[in-house]
Amino acid sequence: MLTDFRTAIREVEQYLANTLSIRRMLTIVTSERGGARNARYDELMQFVRFCITGESHPVRLPDIPFYLDWVATAELQHGLTPKAENRYLAVVAIDGLPAESWPGILDSLDLMPLTYRWSSRFIFLDAETARQKLERTRKKWQQKVRPFFDQLFQTQSRSVDQDAMTMVGEIEDAIAQAASQLVAYGYYTPVIVLFDEDQSVVQEKAEAVRRLVQAEGFGARIETLNATDAFLGSLPGNWYCNIREPLINTSNLSDLVPLNTVWAGSPVAPCPFFPENSPPLMQVASGSTPFRLNLHIDDVGHTLIFGPTGSGKSTLLALIAAQFRRYEFAQIFAFDKGRSLEPLTLAVGGAHYAIGGGLEGEGPVLVLEPELARHFPFVHWRIFRANPIGPGLATGSRH
Protein backbone atom coordinates (compact mmCIF):
# COMPACT_ATOMS: atom_id res chain seq x y z
CA MET A 1 0.00 0.00 0.00
CA LEU A 2 2.83 2.41 0.83
CA THR A 3 4.46 1.66 -2.53
CA ASP A 4 1.21 2.46 -4.36
CA PHE A 5 0.90 5.72 -2.43
CA ARG A 6 4.44 6.78 -3.35
CA THR A 7 3.79 5.88 -6.98
CA ALA A 8 0.61 7.99 -7.04
CA ILE A 9 2.43 10.94 -5.44
CA ARG A 10 5.23 10.71 -8.00
CA GLU A 11 2.72 10.69 -10.86
CA VAL A 12 1.01 13.80 -9.49
CA GLU A 13 4.39 15.55 -9.14
CA GLN A 14 5.37 14.70 -12.69
CA TYR A 15 2.00 15.85 -14.02
CA LEU A 16 2.09 19.21 -12.21
CA ALA A 17 5.80 19.78 -12.89
CA ASN A 18 4.94 20.69 -16.49
CA THR A 19 3.13 23.80 -15.23
CA LEU A 20 4.28 24.51 -11.68
CA SER A 21 7.62 24.61 -9.90
CA ILE A 22 7.32 22.01 -7.15
CA ARG A 23 9.76 21.21 -4.34
CA ARG A 24 9.04 18.56 -1.76
CA MET A 25 9.40 19.47 1.91
CA LEU A 26 12.58 17.97 3.34
CA THR A 27 14.05 16.92 6.66
CA ILE A 28 17.31 18.83 7.20
CA VAL A 29 20.00 17.05 9.22
CA THR A 30 22.64 19.13 11.02
CA SER A 31 25.53 18.10 13.25
CA GLU A 32 25.77 19.13 16.89
CA ARG A 33 28.47 18.91 19.55
CA GLY A 34 31.25 18.56 17.04
CA GLY A 35 29.50 15.81 15.11
CA ALA A 36 28.70 13.71 18.16
CA ARG A 37 24.97 13.75 17.36
CA ASN A 38 22.63 14.84 14.59
CA ALA A 39 19.60 17.11 14.83
CA ARG A 40 16.72 16.82 12.36
CA TYR A 41 14.53 19.78 11.40
CA ASP A 42 11.44 18.96 9.36
CA GLU A 43 9.90 21.49 6.94
CA LEU A 44 6.51 19.72 6.95
CA MET A 45 6.24 20.02 10.74
CA GLN A 46 7.27 23.67 10.45
CA PHE A 47 4.44 24.28 7.99
CA VAL A 48 1.89 22.46 10.18
CA ARG A 49 3.03 24.51 13.17
CA PHE A 50 2.58 27.69 11.13
CA CYS A 51 -0.94 26.67 10.13
CA ILE A 52 -1.90 26.13 13.78
CA THR A 53 -0.20 29.07 15.52
CA GLY A 54 0.83 31.46 12.75
CA GLU A 55 4.47 31.22 13.82
CA SER A 56 7.02 30.02 11.26
CA HIS A 57 10.22 28.72 12.83
CA PRO A 58 12.31 25.55 12.50
CA VAL A 59 10.81 22.55 14.28
CA ARG A 60 13.17 19.91 15.58
CA LEU A 61 12.00 16.33 15.35
CA PRO A 62 12.25 14.27 18.54
CA ASP A 63 14.52 11.26 18.55
CA ILE A 64 11.48 9.08 19.31
CA PRO A 65 8.71 9.72 16.70
CA PHE A 66 6.10 8.78 19.34
CA TYR A 67 6.03 12.41 20.49
CA LEU A 68 5.30 13.99 17.10
CA ASP A 69 1.75 14.88 18.18
CA TRP A 70 3.14 17.15 20.88
CA VAL A 71 5.38 19.01 18.44
CA ALA A 72 2.51 20.35 16.30
CA THR A 73 -0.10 21.08 18.96
CA ALA A 74 -1.33 24.29 20.56
CA GLU A 75 -3.88 25.30 23.16
CA LEU A 76 -7.01 26.59 21.42
CA GLN A 77 -9.49 28.81 23.24
CA HIS A 78 -12.96 29.00 21.70
CA GLY A 79 -15.03 32.14 21.35
CA LEU A 80 -16.07 34.84 18.92
CA THR A 81 -12.35 35.58 18.51
CA PRO A 82 -10.50 32.28 19.13
CA LYS A 83 -7.01 32.23 20.53
CA ALA A 84 -4.23 29.77 19.64
CA GLU A 85 -1.43 29.75 22.21
CA ASN A 86 -0.97 33.45 23.00
CA ARG A 87 -2.17 34.82 19.66
CA TYR A 88 -5.67 35.86 18.65
CA LEU A 89 -6.90 34.66 15.27
CA ALA A 90 -9.51 35.97 12.87
CA VAL A 91 -11.05 34.11 9.93
CA VAL A 92 -12.37 35.90 6.84
CA ALA A 93 -14.68 33.62 4.85
CA ILE A 94 -15.31 34.16 1.14
CA ASP A 95 -18.96 33.20 0.70
CA GLY A 96 -20.00 34.92 -2.53
CA LEU A 97 -18.51 34.42 -5.98
CA PRO A 98 -18.59 36.94 -8.85
CA ALA A 99 -20.35 36.33 -12.15
CA GLU A 100 -17.05 35.66 -13.93
CA SER A 101 -13.45 34.93 -13.02
CA TRP A 102 -9.98 35.28 -14.52
CA PRO A 103 -6.52 34.04 -13.51
CA GLY A 104 -5.14 35.77 -10.42
CA ILE A 105 -8.40 37.50 -9.59
CA LEU A 106 -7.31 37.98 -5.96
CA ASP A 107 -3.64 38.79 -6.55
CA SER A 108 -4.18 42.18 -4.87
CA LEU A 109 -3.95 40.36 -1.53
CA ASP A 110 -0.20 40.07 -2.14
CA LEU A 111 0.14 43.85 -1.84
CA MET A 112 -1.28 44.02 1.67
CA PRO A 113 1.34 44.77 4.39
CA LEU A 114 0.38 41.88 6.65
CA THR A 115 0.90 38.14 7.11
CA TYR A 116 -2.03 35.84 6.39
CA ARG A 117 -2.72 32.22 5.50
CA TRP A 118 -5.05 31.56 2.59
CA SER A 119 -6.74 28.16 2.71
CA SER A 120 -8.46 26.90 -0.46
CA ARG A 121 -10.12 23.54 0.15
CA PHE A 122 -11.81 21.79 -2.77
CA ILE A 123 -13.70 18.52 -2.26
CA PHE A 124 -14.01 16.78 -5.63
CA LEU A 125 -17.20 15.05 -6.71
CA ASP A 126 -17.36 12.24 -9.25
CA ALA A 127 -19.09 12.95 -12.55
CA GLU A 128 -22.35 11.16 -11.66
CA THR A 129 -22.72 12.85 -8.25
CA ALA A 130 -22.00 16.25 -9.79
CA ARG A 131 -24.59 15.62 -12.51
CA GLN A 132 -27.23 14.71 -9.95
CA LYS A 133 -26.65 17.85 -7.89
CA LEU A 134 -26.66 20.05 -10.99
CA GLU A 135 -29.86 18.39 -12.18
CA ARG A 136 -31.48 19.11 -8.82
CA THR A 137 -30.51 22.77 -9.10
CA ARG A 138 -31.81 22.90 -12.68
CA LYS A 139 -35.24 21.64 -11.58
CA LYS A 140 -35.45 24.34 -8.90
CA TRP A 141 -34.84 27.08 -11.46
CA GLN A 142 -37.10 25.38 -14.01
CA GLN A 143 -40.02 25.66 -11.58
CA LYS A 144 -39.51 29.42 -11.41
CA VAL A 145 -39.73 29.97 -15.17
CA ARG A 146 -43.58 29.74 -15.23
CA PRO A 147 -45.89 30.94 -12.46
CA PHE A 148 -47.30 28.35 -10.07
CA PHE A 149 -50.91 28.61 -11.31
CA ASP A 150 -49.83 28.22 -14.95
CA GLN A 151 -48.12 24.96 -13.99
CA LEU A 152 -51.07 23.85 -11.87
CA PHE A 153 -53.83 24.48 -14.45
CA GLN A 154 -51.63 23.81 -17.48
CA THR A 155 -52.22 27.28 -18.90
CA GLN A 156 -49.97 29.65 -20.80
CA SER A 157 -49.46 33.25 -19.83
CA ARG A 158 -47.02 35.94 -20.84
CA SER A 159 -45.51 36.03 -17.37
CA VAL A 160 -42.16 34.30 -17.76
CA ASP A 161 -39.14 34.72 -15.45
CA GLN A 162 -36.33 35.58 -17.85
CA ASP A 163 -33.65 35.34 -15.14
CA ALA A 164 -34.76 31.80 -14.30
CA MET A 165 -34.61 30.86 -17.98
CA THR A 166 -31.06 32.17 -18.17
CA MET A 167 -30.05 30.16 -15.10
CA VAL A 168 -31.61 27.01 -16.56
CA GLY A 169 -29.54 27.45 -19.72
CA GLU A 170 -26.33 27.97 -17.75
CA ILE A 171 -26.95 24.91 -15.59
CA GLU A 172 -27.63 22.79 -18.68
CA ASP A 173 -24.27 23.91 -20.07
CA ALA A 174 -22.67 22.92 -16.76
CA ILE A 175 -24.31 19.48 -16.93
CA ALA A 176 -22.92 19.02 -20.43
CA GLN A 177 -19.41 19.96 -19.23
CA ALA A 178 -19.65 17.53 -16.32
CA ALA A 179 -20.80 14.75 -18.66
CA SER A 180 -17.88 15.40 -21.04
CA GLN A 181 -15.45 15.14 -18.07
CA LEU A 182 -13.44 18.04 -19.44
CA VAL A 183 -13.87 19.69 -16.04
CA ALA A 184 -14.70 18.34 -12.59
CA TYR A 185 -17.05 19.80 -10.01
CA GLY A 186 -16.73 20.04 -6.25
CA TYR A 187 -17.30 22.02 -3.05
CA TYR A 188 -15.05 25.05 -2.64
CA THR A 189 -14.31 26.51 0.82
CA PRO A 190 -11.92 29.49 0.85
CA VAL A 191 -10.92 31.23 4.10
CA ILE A 192 -8.19 33.68 5.07
CA VAL A 193 -6.67 33.25 8.55
CA LEU A 194 -4.87 36.06 10.38
CA PHE A 195 -2.95 36.06 13.69
CA ASP A 196 -1.86 38.75 16.12
CA GLU A 197 -1.16 39.07 19.83
CA ASP A 198 -3.47 42.12 20.05
CA GLN A 199 -7.17 41.42 19.57
CA SER A 200 -7.93 44.90 18.20
CA VAL A 201 -5.07 44.67 15.70
CA VAL A 202 -6.17 41.30 14.33
CA GLN A 203 -9.70 42.68 13.98
CA GLU A 204 -8.40 45.64 11.96
CA LYS A 205 -6.45 43.27 9.71
CA ALA A 206 -9.55 41.16 9.14
CA GLU A 207 -11.61 44.21 8.22
CA ALA A 208 -8.93 45.37 5.75
CA VAL A 209 -8.89 41.94 4.08
CA ARG A 210 -12.69 41.85 3.93
CA ARG A 211 -12.84 45.28 2.25
CA LEU A 212 -10.28 44.25 -0.36
CA VAL A 213 -12.05 40.96 -1.14
CA GLN A 214 -15.40 42.74 -1.46
CA ALA A 215 -13.83 45.32 -3.77
CA GLU A 216 -12.98 42.48 -6.18
CA GLY A 217 -16.66 41.47 -6.44
CA PHE A 218 -16.68 38.66 -3.87
CA GLY A 219 -18.84 38.27 -0.80
CA ALA A 220 -16.84 38.14 2.43
CA ARG A 221 -17.55 38.09 6.14
CA ILE A 222 -15.58 37.90 9.38
CA GLU A 223 -16.48 34.67 11.17
CA THR A 224 -17.79 34.98 14.75
CA LEU A 225 -19.94 32.07 16.00
CA ASN A 226 -18.46 29.85 13.27
CA ALA A 227 -14.86 31.07 13.78
CA THR A 228 -13.56 27.94 15.50
CA ASP A 229 -15.12 25.57 12.98
CA ALA A 230 -13.82 27.69 10.08
CA PHE A 231 -10.32 27.71 11.57
CA LEU A 232 -10.31 23.93 12.06
CA GLY A 233 -11.54 23.46 8.50
CA SER A 234 -8.53 25.42 7.18
CA LEU A 235 -6.00 23.01 8.74
CA PRO A 236 -4.32 20.47 6.43
CA GLY A 237 -6.11 17.12 6.41
CA ASN A 238 -9.36 18.41 7.92
CA TRP A 239 -12.18 17.74 5.46
CA TYR A 240 -15.26 17.64 7.69
CA CYS A 241 -15.32 21.09 9.37
CA ASN A 242 -16.88 24.14 7.75
CA ILE A 243 -17.98 22.47 4.51
CA ARG A 244 -19.48 25.04 2.14
CA GLU A 245 -21.47 23.93 -0.88
CA PRO A 246 -21.02 26.41 -3.70
CA LEU A 247 -20.59 23.99 -6.58
CA ILE A 248 -17.86 25.23 -8.94
CA ASN A 249 -15.78 23.55 -11.61
CA THR A 250 -12.02 23.18 -11.85
CA SER A 251 -11.78 25.89 -14.52
CA ASN A 252 -13.05 28.49 -12.06
CA LEU A 253 -11.00 26.91 -9.28
CA SER A 254 -7.77 27.55 -11.20
CA ASP A 255 -8.68 31.26 -11.28
CA LEU A 256 -9.48 31.46 -7.58
CA VAL A 257 -6.62 29.58 -5.93
CA PRO A 258 -3.37 31.53 -5.32
CA LEU A 259 -1.06 29.89 -7.86
CA ASN A 260 1.38 32.82 -8.02
CA THR A 261 2.85 35.33 -5.63
CA VAL A 262 5.49 38.06 -5.49
CA TRP A 263 8.97 36.56 -5.95
CA ALA A 264 11.17 37.71 -3.08
CA GLY A 265 14.50 36.66 -4.59
CA SER A 266 17.07 34.17 -3.36
CA PRO A 267 17.71 34.33 0.41
CA VAL A 268 21.43 33.59 -0.12
CA ALA A 269 24.00 34.85 -2.61
CA PRO A 270 24.27 32.36 -5.52
CA CYS A 271 27.95 33.04 -6.27
CA PRO A 272 30.05 29.95 -5.39
CA PHE A 273 33.09 32.15 -4.57
CA PHE A 274 31.32 33.79 -1.64
CA PRO A 275 31.32 32.17 1.80
CA GLU A 276 28.60 29.57 2.28
CA ASN A 277 25.12 30.96 3.06
CA SER A 278 26.21 34.53 2.37
CA PRO A 279 23.37 37.07 2.50
CA PRO A 280 22.00 38.73 -0.65
CA LEU A 281 23.61 41.93 -1.88
CA MET A 282 20.78 44.07 -0.48
CA GLN A 283 17.07 44.06 0.26
CA VAL A 284 14.74 46.56 -1.40
CA ALA A 285 10.97 46.96 -1.39
CA SER A 286 8.42 48.90 -3.42
CA GLY A 287 5.40 47.29 -1.75
CA SER A 288 4.75 45.08 1.25
CA THR A 289 7.10 42.25 0.16
CA PRO A 290 10.88 42.91 0.43
CA PHE A 291 12.98 41.82 -2.53
CA ARG A 292 16.39 40.22 -2.07
CA LEU A 293 18.69 41.59 -4.77
CA ASN A 294 21.50 39.42 -6.14
CA LEU A 295 23.45 40.45 -9.22
CA HIS A 296 25.10 37.07 -9.66
CA ILE A 297 23.84 34.12 -11.67
CA ASP A 298 26.09 31.34 -10.47
CA ASP A 299 29.60 32.83 -10.74
CA VAL A 300 28.74 35.55 -13.30
CA GLY A 301 27.79 38.99 -12.01
CA HIS A 302 27.93 41.19 -15.12
CA THR A 303 25.51 44.10 -14.78
CA LEU A 304 24.58 46.98 -17.09
CA ILE A 305 22.99 50.12 -15.64
CA PHE A 306 21.80 52.81 -18.03
CA GLY A 307 19.56 55.84 -17.79
CA PRO A 308 19.40 59.59 -18.50
CA THR A 309 21.61 62.12 -16.78
CA GLY A 310 20.63 62.72 -13.18
CA SER A 311 18.56 59.54 -12.85
CA GLY A 312 20.75 58.13 -10.05
CA LYS A 313 23.15 55.76 -11.81
CA SER A 314 26.18 56.90 -9.79
CA THR A 315 24.19 56.76 -6.56
CA LEU A 316 23.10 53.19 -7.33
CA LEU A 317 26.68 52.17 -8.14
CA ALA A 318 27.87 53.66 -4.85
CA LEU A 319 25.15 51.77 -2.98
CA ILE A 320 26.10 48.49 -4.68
CA ALA A 321 29.78 49.09 -3.88
CA ALA A 322 28.98 49.83 -0.23
CA GLN A 323 26.75 46.75 0.12
CA PHE A 324 29.36 44.53 -1.53
CA ARG A 325 31.68 45.14 1.41
CA ARG A 326 29.50 42.88 3.58
CA TYR A 327 31.20 39.84 2.06
CA GLU A 328 34.37 38.57 3.72
CA PHE A 329 37.64 39.52 1.96
CA ALA A 330 35.74 41.73 -0.49
CA GLN A 331 37.84 44.06 -2.66
CA ILE A 332 36.39 46.82 -4.82
CA PHE A 333 38.18 48.49 -7.74
CA ALA A 334 36.30 51.16 -9.68
CA PHE A 335 37.04 53.67 -12.43
CA ASP A 336 35.31 56.83 -11.31
CA LYS A 337 34.26 59.80 -13.45
CA GLY A 338 33.51 63.15 -11.86
CA ARG A 339 34.53 62.09 -8.30
CA SER A 340 31.08 60.58 -7.69
CA LEU A 341 32.52 57.69 -5.66
CA GLU A 342 35.22 59.66 -3.83
CA PRO A 343 33.06 60.47 -0.75
CA LEU A 344 32.25 56.78 -0.26
CA THR A 345 35.90 55.83 -0.72
CA LEU A 346 37.02 58.26 1.96
CA ALA A 347 34.15 57.30 4.28
CA VAL A 348 35.10 53.61 4.33
CA GLY A 349 38.81 54.33 4.66
CA GLY A 350 39.69 53.38 1.12
CA ALA A 351 42.41 54.81 -1.12
CA HIS A 352 41.74 57.14 -4.05
CA TYR A 353 44.35 57.41 -6.79
CA ALA A 354 44.41 60.11 -9.43
CA ILE A 355 45.69 58.78 -12.72
CA GLY A 356 47.95 61.47 -14.14
CA GLY A 357 47.65 63.43 -10.83
CA GLY A 358 48.44 67.02 -10.05
CA LEU A 359 45.66 69.14 -11.62
CA GLU A 360 44.06 71.16 -8.82
CA GLY A 361 40.39 72.05 -9.02
CA GLU A 362 39.78 70.64 -12.45
CA GLY A 363 40.78 67.12 -11.50
CA PRO A 364 43.30 64.72 -13.03
CA VAL A 365 43.25 64.31 -16.78
CA LEU A 366 44.19 61.21 -18.68
CA VAL A 367 45.82 62.40 -21.91
CA LEU A 368 45.21 60.16 -24.91
CA GLU A 369 46.81 60.10 -28.30
CA PRO A 370 44.99 62.43 -30.74
CA GLU A 371 43.90 59.53 -32.93
CA LEU A 372 42.44 57.63 -29.94
CA ALA A 373 40.93 60.70 -28.28
CA ARG A 374 38.36 61.03 -31.07
CA HIS A 375 36.83 57.70 -30.05
CA PHE A 376 36.81 58.38 -26.29
CA PRO A 377 34.70 61.43 -25.25
CA PHE A 378 35.58 60.84 -21.59
CA VAL A 379 38.96 61.85 -20.21
CA HIS A 380 38.29 62.46 -16.49
CA TRP A 381 38.89 59.10 -14.83
CA ARG A 382 39.83 57.82 -11.38
CA ILE A 383 40.75 54.48 -9.93
CA PHE A 384 40.02 53.80 -6.30
CA ARG A 385 40.09 50.78 -4.07
CA ALA A 386 37.80 50.39 -1.05
CA ASN A 387 38.97 48.30 1.90
CA PRO A 388 42.50 47.87 0.45
CA ILE A 389 44.29 44.62 1.14
CA GLY A 390 47.99 44.36 0.37
CA PRO A 391 50.32 47.03 -0.99
CA GLY A 392 48.85 50.23 -2.43
CA LEU A 393 49.02 51.45 -5.98
CA ALA A 394 51.69 53.96 -6.86
CA THR A 395 51.14 56.76 -9.36
CA GLY A 396 54.08 55.57 -11.41
CA SER A 397 52.51 52.15 -11.90
CA ARG A 398 49.65 53.44 -14.05
CA HIS A 399 49.32 52.22 -17.65
Backbone angles phi, psi at 134, to 5 degrees: -65, -40
Q: What is the mean pLDDT of the chain?
A: 81
Query: What pLDDT does 159 receive?
Result: 75
Give the chain's end-to-end CA distance (angstroms, integer).
74
Q: Please give the Cα distance from 336 to 350 (Å, whole number).
A: 14
Flag whether pLDDT at 25 surpasses 60: yes
Q: Percentage of the chain with pLDDT > 70?
A: 86
| Cα of 341 vs its chain's centroid, Å | 36
Nearest to 48 by CA among 240, 231, 236: 236
87-96 and 83-84 as β-strands: parallel, antiparallel, unpaired?
A: antiparallel
Query: What pLDDT does 285 receive?
Result: 76
Flag whether pLDDT at 196 surpasses 90: yes
Mean pLDDT of 364-371: 35
CA-to-CA separations, 329 to 26, 269, 280, 386, 397, in angstroms, rounded:
33, 15, 16, 11, 24
Greater confidence (330 vs 210) lies with 210
Flag whether pLDDT at 397 surpasses 50: no
Query: What pLDDT does 121 receive?
Result: 92
pTM: 0.70
pLDDT in tens, 77-111: 888 889 998 899 999 999 888 888 888 888 888 88
pLDDT in tens, 9-21: 888 888 888 777 7
Q: Please give the Cα distance from 303 to 278 (Å, whole number).
A: 20
pLDDT in tens, 285-295: 766 778 899 99
Flag whether pLDDT at 358 surpasses 60: no
Flag whether pLDDT at 127 surpasses 80: yes
Q: Please give the Cα distance from 390 to 374 (Å, whole number).
A: 37
